[in-house]
């Protein structure tokens, strides 16, 4: 246990204790995409909303689906139900979801397109329902449950804004960098400013922790990783902590590999979430030495279940047992997961 964790003023919620650097005998746990299509109650509420974006922008229903996995499983944290691309929509890009195919956006492919985006100060008009969701959750969650807000990191959101959809290798964004690095940097800068405003407003509405999802960070290499993943996270975290000095922040540069090493120190993040392409033993040795680590059970275990789920869960808990750890998946739980496997995972963690 760290010195900070022993003080009378230490946080009482288990997630906040881990983020403050405390090693706990039983790690706190939540799951990425824990409110989602694998739950029948989610599917019923989604049908009531009509479509995905209507669900995101309906504060009562968005709060309901956020609360559903807390009621069912008693996770240590609830994460706001929203989508990483809402920030792009708030900046002026058109956003819609094609059934069975995922998000679609109008494209931003040059400096003129970047210049036409709305300034950061104007995103709140579109995003105000998200803040209302957080206010509802702040009053509805159990007292022991931490409320997490989030945003997509600039690089990941930019890849969708440039391509107009998700892509296998983020090729259109990489092509934009090659063609006009300054123009692409301007897009990243605009997203940084909007993300700071968005996350700050989430904190003011009740979020106790925020997480920055850089889902496609792994496709950035060398200087590009520094310029478009690490430095934007550094600037966003510094700005948020200047406004909210005690705010814990989780960074998730997914599939960063060796670049996970030192990421917390370089960016000021209180915790680094890791995916399941790296082992827990490696991360304990190389990443956890700098502070809290979140992760990293492979999501396929939530589909397959069985003894492999139990043994792998216990192995990860043991690997991270000598430092601060938040148990989570290496990425989001998938729609084909068995809800009963979540109970099995929790039993393996909590005993």
Q: What was the pLDDT predicted at 9?
A: 61
Q: At 44, which helix (H) or strand (E)?
A: helix 40-49
Q: What was the pLDDT predicted at 101?
A: 83
Domains defined for the chain, CATH in brackets:
4-350 (3.20.20.210)
| Spatial separation of the C-alpha atoms in residues 159 and 338, rounded to whole Å | 31
Q: What was the pLDDT predicted at 2?
A: 41
| Residue 148: both structure tokens together | 């997490």
Q: What was the pLDDT predicted at 100?
A: 78
Q: Where are the beta strands (DSSP E) in 57-171?
A: 77-79, 95-98, 102-105, 146-152
| Residue 91: both structure tokens together | 């900046």
User: SS3 letters for 181-194?
Assistant: HHHHHHHHHHHHHH
pLDDT tens string, the chain, 351 residues long: the values are 343 334 446 679 999 999 999 999 999 999 999 999 999 999 999 999 999 999 999 999 999 999 999 999 999 999 999 999 999 999 999 999 987 788 999 999 999 999 999 999 999 999 999 999 999 999 999 999 999 999 999 999 999 999 999 999 999 999 999 999 999 999 999 999 999 999 999 999 999 999 999 999 999 999 999 999 999 999 999 999 999 999 999 999 999 999 999 999 999 999 999 999 999 999 999 999 999 999 999 999 999 999 999 999 999 999 999 999 999 999 999 999 999 999 999 999 998
Q: How far apart are the first and last CA of the chain?
A: 21
Residues designated as active site: 33, 37, 46, 83, 160
| Residue 202: both structure tokens together | 């989430």
Q: What was the pLDDT predicted at 98?
A: 84
| Spatial separation of the C-alpha atoms in residues 39 and 9, rounded to whole Å | 38
């Amino acid at each position: 246990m760290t010195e900070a964790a022993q003080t009378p003023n230490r946080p009482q919620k288990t997630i906040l204790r881990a983020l403050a650097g405390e090693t706990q005998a039983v790690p706190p746990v939540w799951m990425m995409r824990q409110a989602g299509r694998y739950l029948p109650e989610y599917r019923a509420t989604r049908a009531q909303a009509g479509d995905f974006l209507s669900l995101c922008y309906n504060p009562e229903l968005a709060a309901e689906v956020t609360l559903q996995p807390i009621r069912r499983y008693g996770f240590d944290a609830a994460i706001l139900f929203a989508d990483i691309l809402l920030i792009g929509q708030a900046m002026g890009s058109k956003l819609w979801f094609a059934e069975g195919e995922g998000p679609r956006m109008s494209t931003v492919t040059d400096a003129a397109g970047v210049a036409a985006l709305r300034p950061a100060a104007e995103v709140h008009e579109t995003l105000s329902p998200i803040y209302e969701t957080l206010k509802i959750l702040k009053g509805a969650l159990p007292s022991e449950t931490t409320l997490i807000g989030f945003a997509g990191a600039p690089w990941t959101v930019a890849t969708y804004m440039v391509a107009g959809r998700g892509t296998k290798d983020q090729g259109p964004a990489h092509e934009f960098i090659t063609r006009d690095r300054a123009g692409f940097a301007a897009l990243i800068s605009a997203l940084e400013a909007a993300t700071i405003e968005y996350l700050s407003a989430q904190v003011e509405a009740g979020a106790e922790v925020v997480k920055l999802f850089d889902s496609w960070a792994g496709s950035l290499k060398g200087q590009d990783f520094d310029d478009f993943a690490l430095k934007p996270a550094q600037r966003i975290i510094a700005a948020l902590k200047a406004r909210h000095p005690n705010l814990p922040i989780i960074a998730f540069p997914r599939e960063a590999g060796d670049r996970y090493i030192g990421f917390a120190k370089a960016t000021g993040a209180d915790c680094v979430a890791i995916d399941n392409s790296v082992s827990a033993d490696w991360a304990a040795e190389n990443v956890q030495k700098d502070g809290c680590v979140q992760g990293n059970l492979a999501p396929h275990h939530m589909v397959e279940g069985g003894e492999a789920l139990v043994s792998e869960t216990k192995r990860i808990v043991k690997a991270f047992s000598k430092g601060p750890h938040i148990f989570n998946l290496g990425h989001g739980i998938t729609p084909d997961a068995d809800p009963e496997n979540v109970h099995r995972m929790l039993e393996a963690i909590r005993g």
